[in-house]
């Protein structure tokens, strides 16, 4: 049996370092927000045979004087264009201009519009505010639920501390994932949108589910084993559930990796956030949440 609780200083040092690095990165760089939060338009197009160069597109759209125009190649013949919020008539004019691009030696290079989204700045600000509220509300309800579910476990650690341990583990997961995306935003221009918030909420659900399974085994063993110390009981419980946690996470990761590799470009960041969340959430459920119970017991 592996002494996970006995080596909690190693796990806390690693987690503390990652969390501190994520906070520093977020303070310095921050997240690169997508149009869902800042407002603007997103146009995803593809050419049937061969796509033009970025310079050709910029030249074709110069007459529109679009603010914050960003052109990102995607796939083999696709482009993702981001620019200011525009009315529908301008949208149609842009499509016509893009379709008028002629490439030498290429015939029947039909333009296909895959997606168009336009969000005003007021709506974007409202979405950002509601996204933060959603995460806070979820965390509060998780604490209340765990405190209620473990209400009969009052010794040696109070039931509400189980909920607090789970929340600390969840904050650990969210901070590290957002820190990674802040780095990706700085280095690769990766933007976060409403799907990223959906991924964070999914990570919260997945991680707390894993944590509750371990806590539940601890609760069972507390009633069965009266001759062992609290640290020993927590360590036994973690070892009894670790294989189940790893198997659940691995099967989930296989599916997410398949979606990331073979899925569309528009959900790659969403899937990447889930992959990171599953890995970090599994780690925190085993090496952060349960060792925190040991800390509460010693502090008491």
For the domain spanning 5-35+123-299, the CATH number is 1.20.1640.10
CA distance 56 to 84: 20
Amino acid 154: pLDDT: 54
Other beta carbons within 10 angstroms of residue 54's beta carbon come to 12
Amino acid 23: pLDDT: 96
Confidence grade of residue 14 (pLDDT, cut at 50, 70, 90): very high
Which of 248, 257, 254 lies closest to 281, judged by CA?
248
Confidence grade of residue 19 (pLDDT, cut at 50, 70, 90): very high
Percentage of the chain beyond pLDDT 90 is: 24
Amino acid 259: pLDDT: 92
Question: Which region, left, alpha or beta, applies to residue 96 given φ > 0 means left and ψ of -120 to 50 means alpha?
Answer: alpha
Retrieve residue 268's tokens. 């790659």
CA distance 190 to 176: 16
Retrieve residue 217's tokens. 């085994």
Q: Is 70 exceeded by the pLDDT of residue 211?
A: yes
Retrieve residue 1's tokens. 């049996």
Is the model more confident about 154 or about 294? 294
Please write the tens of the pLDDT for every residue from 60-71.
888 888 877 888
Amino acid 300: pLDDT: 59
Which of 1, 18, 31 lies closest to 193, judged by CA?
31
| 124 Cβ neighbours under 8 A, 6+ residues apart | 35, 36, 37, 38, 39, 40
CA distance 4 to 113: 53
Confidence grade of residue 153 (pLDDT, cut at 50, 70, 90): low
* C-alpha to C-alpha distances, 98 to 95, 106, 158, nearest whole angstrom: 5, 15, 64
CA distance 164 to 166: 5
| 237 Cβ neighbours under 8 A, 6+ residues apart | 214, 217, 218, 220, 221, 290
Confidence grade of residue 274 (pLDDT, cut at 50, 70, 90): very high
Tell me the helix, strand and coil percentages in the chain, rounded to 5. 70, 10, 20
Please write the tens of the pLDDT for every residue from 100-143.
888 877 777 788 898 888 877 666 678 778 888 888 888 888 87
Q: Which residues pair with 118 in a beta bridge?
A: 41
CA distance 205 to 62: 46
Model's pTM, two decimal places?
0.80
CA distance 169 to 175: 10
Q: What is the 3-state secondary structure (H, E, C) of 93-115?
A: HHHHHHHCCCCCCCCCCCEEEEE
- Weakest-pLDDT range from 45-59, 116-130, 225-239, 278-292: 116-130
Looking at domain 40-119, its CATH class is alpha beta
Domain definitions of the chain by residue range = 5-35+123-299, 40-119
Q: Which stretch, 17-21, 89-93, 225-229, has highest mean pLDDT? A: 17-21
Handedness of CA 194, 198, 199, 201 (dihedral sign): positive
Residue pair 206/283 in contact by the 8 Å Cβ criterion: no
**What dihedral do alpha carbons 19, 24, 27, 29 form, nearest 10°?**
-110
3-state secondary structure (DSSP) of residue 297:
helix
């Amino acid at each position: 049996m592996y002494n996970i609780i006995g080596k909690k200083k190693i796990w806390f040092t690693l987690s503390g370092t990652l969390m501190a690095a994520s906070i520093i990165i977020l303070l310095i760089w921050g997240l690169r927000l997508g149009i869902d939060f800042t407002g603007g338009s997103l146009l995803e197009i593809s050419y049937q045979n061969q796509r033009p160069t970025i310079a050709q597109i910029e030249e074709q759209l110069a007459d529109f004087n679009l603010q914050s125009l960003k052109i990102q190649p995607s796939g083999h013949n696709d482009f993702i264009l981001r620019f200011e919020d525009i009315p529908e008539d301008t949208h149609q004019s842009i499509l016509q201009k893009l379709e008028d691009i002629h490439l030498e030696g290429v015939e029947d290079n039909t333009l296909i519009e895959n997606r168009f989204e336009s969000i005003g700045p007021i709506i974007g600000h409202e979405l950002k505010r509601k996204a933060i509220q959603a995460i806070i509300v979820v965390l509060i309800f998780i604490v209340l639920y765990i405190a209620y579910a473990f209400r009969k476990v009052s010794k040696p650690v109070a039931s509400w501390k189980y909920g607090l341990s789970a929340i600390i583990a969840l904050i650990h997961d969210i901070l590290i994932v957002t820190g990674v995306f802040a780095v990706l935003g700085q280095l690769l221009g990766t933007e976060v949108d409403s799907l990223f918030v959906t991924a964070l909420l999914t990570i919260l659900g997945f991680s707390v589910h894993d944590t509750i399974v371990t806590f539940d085994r601890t609760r069972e063993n507390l009633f069965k084993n009266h001759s062992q110390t609290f640290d020993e009981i927590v360590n036994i419980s973690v070892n009894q559930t670790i294989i189940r946690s790893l198997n659940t996470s691995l099967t989930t990761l296989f599916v997410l990796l398949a979606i990331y590799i073979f899925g569309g470009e528009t959900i790659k960041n969403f899937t990447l956030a889930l992959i990171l969340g599953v890995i970090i959430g599994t780690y925190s459920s085993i090496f952060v949440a349960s060792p925190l119970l040991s800390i509460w017991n010693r502090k008491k």
